[in-house]
Amino acid sequence: MDKAMLPTPSTVRRVSAPGSPAGRVPIVGAELRQAIRSLAGSDSTLTALSLTERGVGDGDLRALAEVLAHNRSLVTLDLRCNRIGASGAQVLAGALAQNVCLKELSLGDNQIGVGGTQALVEALAQNRCLISLDLWRNQIGDSGAQVLGGALMRNKYLVRLNLCKNQIGTIGTQALAGALAQNRCLAELDLSYNQIDSSGAQALAGALRWNGCLTSLNLGGNQIGTSGMQGLAGALALNRGLTRLCLWNNQIDAIGAQAMAWALARNRCLNWLSLKENQIGDGGAQALANGLAQNSCLKELNLGDNEIGDSGAQALATVVARRHSLSKLVLWHNEIAAGGAQKLAEALMQNRCLAELNLSDNQIDDSGAQALAKALEDNGCLTRLDLSGNRISAGGAQISIDSLLRCNRLAARPEYFAAWRSLRG
């Protein structure tokens, strides 16, 4: 299913109640009845309906489901943050089994559980239209993930699936991985904030060796650790489909970063990678720099909050100096001081690709800030430099900003250079 089929803002007509934000219908009598009437008409033109945070319960869904079953206009239905349980999901599933129009369904932050998931899966077996399903925070667990895994083996239409915050562990992840090894349709999968450990990561790695369809995988906020990272690295070296990978906050250390570096030296597809909130340190940063030296695909790299100091920054600076393909580098909340900033400044004098550099919340002083500002006089590419939360005095910040304004190439916004909390003078 082509993702171009997803509705865009220009094609969506949203129903709104007087005095409420666009696209939201308060769940209070007349407004809900009006929305249902709009959907029930044979000439309905309503394409998007948002009922988020409206206290929608299982009983409220019955009338809505009845018209949804036969509606031919609604493309997007958002029911996030309500009180929908298993019985409500079952009612909605009955409508989905007959509906031939709805493409996006959001049920995030409800309580559908395993029973509701089972009902939705049975509906998907008959539905040929739905391409996006959001089930984040729904108490699905391993049993629900197993049910979804069985469905994904057969489904040929779903493109995007969000299972964030669902207490999915090893067993559920293995079931989903088994499905991914056979599925040739799903492009985006969000498994962030679950209970996935190294075994679950190894299972997903096995699937990625064979799956060439998945383009985005979010595993942030799990516990894959070093061995899990090593397994994924082996898969990334072979994978030719994944372009976006989130591995933030996963207990990855320098050894895990070395495995990723090995994969980056061989991967020719990944262009967005987040390793923020791990513990790769200077050793991990140096390893990644070595891997990036052989990679020409990665465009954005987030290494924020990773205990990286001046030596790690210096290693990454060598990559920047080589005019690497990176367009965005995030190094916020590390331990980079003047020495690291100066090396990055030297690299920027040669670089013509990097557009964004985030060095906020480090230990950079006036000399480091001024070195960076001076470097940008010869750099015509960087459009955003964030130095907020450092040890830059008011005077040092002003000198640097004045320098940037003279070269007239960077939008020298003071908040990017020295936020009020970073001023020491």
Torsion over CA: 223, 225, 231, 233 (sign): positive
Q: Is the predicted pLDDT of residue 66 greater than 50, yes or no?
A: yes
Span 105-130, average pLDDT:
96
| Tokens standing for residue 331 | 């190094």
| pLDDT at residue 2, rounded to an integer | 42
Beta bridge mates, 216: 188, 244
Beta bridge mates, 78: 50, 106
Render pLDDT for 364-393 as a digit per residue (tens, 0 to 9). Answer: 999 999 999 888 888 878 888 899 899 988
| pLDDT at residue 31, rounded to an integer | 62
What the chain holds in terms of domains, given with CATH numbers, is 43-422 (3.80.10.10)
Render pLDDT for 218-269 as a digit per residue (tens, 0 to 9). Answer: 999 999 999 999 999 999 999 999 999 999 999 999 999 999 999 999 999 9
Helix-helix angle 310-321:338-348, to 10 degrees: 0
Q: Which of 400-404, 407-411, 417-421 is modeled with the greatest confidence? A: 400-404
In percent, the amount of the chain with pLDDT more than 70 equals 85
Distance CA 391, CA 240 (A): 43
Q: What angle do CA 329, 378, 345 make, to 5 degrees?
A: 45
Backbone angles phi, psi at 265, to 5 degrees: -65, -20
pTM: 0.89
